Amino acid sequence: METQKPTPVIQPWTKEFWKATKQGKLFVQHCNDCNSNIFFPKKVCPECWSENLSWIESPGKAKVYTFTEMLDMVEPKFMGDLPYVIAMVDLPEGIRMTTRIVNCKPENVAIGMNVEVVFQDVSSDCALPMFQPADASLRIKTADQEESVTGAPEAETGLKPEDYQTIQYEIGGKNDAVCFITLNRPEKYNAINRRMAAELIDAFRRVRDILTVGVVVLAGAGKAFCTGGDLEIFPSLAEHQNSLNWLSHEGLDVQRAITSCEKVVICKINGHCLAGGLEVALACDLLYAKASAKMGTTEINMGILPGWGGTARLPRSMPIFRAREIIYSGRKDYTAKEMYDMGLLTRVFADDEFEAGFEKIVNNIASKKPIALRMGKEIMARSADGCDLETALAVERNGIQWLTYSPDIQELMDQFRARPDQLTQQQKQQNIKSDVNK
Ligand SMILES: [Zn+2]
């Protein structure tokens, strides 16, 4: 069964190992020269560099060396599995494996516990070895656990656009070249809660793999773009660990999902764009605003500072003396026009011209080759990140070289290029003309 989670990359020297897992067998590599047992399988023996390696079948009995319980997770694809136990287990063959302990309540897992191997199918080529308590009385067998061990369809645990509750996700535009992601909690001015953060991360990672899409439009439903993190979750952040998770998992991972989605992300600032909302906007590639939109970073009024990249990105996005005023003043009434004059936004439209003007810009950019937009985003990100000019020029040269030889662009170029020896005199004349006309 296929799953959406990442699956092991099978190499020539690990092929036998993974093949065995499909038959419910745990293979350990053995060096015939120095008699070492080796895990994970390698090309050569790490002890003596011999290539004279073979396989032994392990009975799959082990003892827990150490373990930890996963309660939170950055990667949405694994969120459905939470909570789960990651452990290192020692096998009598003298090897230590990193694995999961399954079929057991996390509170019943203990160091020194005897465990035995079970296999979870993840693809047509491999199953993952995991371990369950050897003592059957410690095992649990709820319907959920049964499924997770035999390999529940990932679709039932991971997020899907149909399940989104706080955002809208739609592919559209000419040639399906635009993905519209809309923050959809208008009654809360699109404040970001945990659910919305997880859905945004999922949506931006999802769209990365859609080849027709060159542009993502990030907008807010109703009157606001986004007013930042939902203050209602603040009491639950009193615990320091929660607070760190909120900053790094939800906050920064939403931005990383935007900056690494390989599409040109166009932010449509149709209304209030404050605090964390402005910080999310700063992660986008282009910022278009309605003149009446109000903007600012208000965190300092609560005695804190922008924590989703504001202090890092604002000074990189505009003249620093103006960025400092925005952060220190805590004003929430900067107009879009003021922000534009201070050097932040791409463009500002009068309210009644906003929709039409925005649409025109999106359609134009979306008509370009997605692969060229992607490369442009990557090259400019490297350059804007402050590398020296020579490096930036080298990155640019490599990027264009790569583009020129991508199949997509080759096809386009082939239309302009035929082998000269096969051309008639008349065609040659035409080619010369069309070159001149360029
Ligand atoms: Zn060896």
CA distance 59 to 63: 13
pLDDT digits (tens, 9 = 90+) for 33-68: 999 999 999 999 999 999 999 999 999 999 999 999
Choose the weakest-confidence range: 196-205, 375-384, 423-432. Answer: 423-432
Ligand 1 centroid – CA 391 distance (Å): 43
- Tens digits of residue pLDDT in 247-258: 767 788 899 999
Do residues 68 and 85 touch, judged by C-beta distance below 8 A? Answer: yes
On the CB side of 426, how many CA atoms lie within 13 Å of its CA?
0
169 Cα: distance to centroid of ligand 1 (angstroms)? 54
Cβ-contact 110, 68 below 8 angstroms: no
String of DSSP letters for 89-116: EEETTTEEEEEEE-SB-GGG--TT-EEE
Q: Biggest alpha carbon distance in the chain?
A: 87
If you measure from the C-alpha of residue 16 to the centroid of ligand 1, how many angstroms do you get, rounded to a whole number?
19
Domain 161-366 sits in CATH at 3.90.226.10
Q: At 280, which helix (H) or strand (E)? A: helix 276-282
Whole-number Cα distances in Å, 60 to 85, 114, 345, 435: 18, 11, 60, 69
CATH 3.90.226.10 domain residues, the chain: 161-366
Q: For the residues 111-118, what does the mean pLDDT come to?
A: 96
**Token pair recorded at residue 233:** 């979750």
* Overall average pLDDT of the 380-390 stretch: 85
pLDDT at residue 290, as a whole number: 96
CA distances from 248 to 80, 195, 205, 245, 305 (A): 20, 15, 17, 5, 15
Query: Is residue 123's pLDDT more than 80?
Result: yes
User: Ligand 1 center to residue 38 CA distance, Å?
Assistant: 9
> How far away, in angstroms, is 58 Cα from ligand 1 center?
18
Q: By mean pLDDT, which of 119-123, 204-208, 383-387 is the weakest?
A: 383-387
Which token pair is 398? 């490599």
Cα(30) to centroid of ligand 1, in Å? Answer: 8
What pLDDT band is residue 186 in, cutting at 50, 70 and 90? very high
Confidence of residue 334 (pLDDT cuts 50, 70, 90): very high
The predicted pLDDT at position 427 comes to: 55
CA of 57 to the centre of ligand 1 (A): 18
State the distance from the centre of ligand 1 to the C-alpha of 28, rounded, in angstroms: 13
User: What residues pack around ion ligand 1 (CB closer than 5 A)?
Assistant: 31, 33-34, 36, 45, 47-48, 50
Q: Please give the model's pTM, rounded to 2 decimal places.
A: 0.61
Reply yes or no on whether the pLDDT at 150 is more than 90. Answer: no
Residues 315 and 326 sit within 8 Å (Cβ to Cβ): no
> Which range is least confidently modeled, 23-37, 157-171, 335-349, 424-438?
424-438
Residue 37 CA to ligand 1 center (angstroms) comes to 8
Angle separating helix axes 370-384 and 407-414, nearest 10 degrees = 120
Say if residue 111's pLDDT is above 50: yes
- At residue 246, the pLDDT reads 76
Residues identified as active-site: 279, 299
Sheet holding 37-38, edge to edge: 37-38, 26-31, 53-58
Distance 95 CA to ligand 1 centre (A): 14
**Residue 155 confidence (pLDDT):** 36
- What is the structure's pLDDT at 409? 77
Closest CA to 260 of 207, 199, 197, 335: 207
Please, what is the average pLDDT of the chain?
87
Report the separation in Å between the CA atom of 43 and the middle of ligand 1, taken as the mean of its atom positions. 11
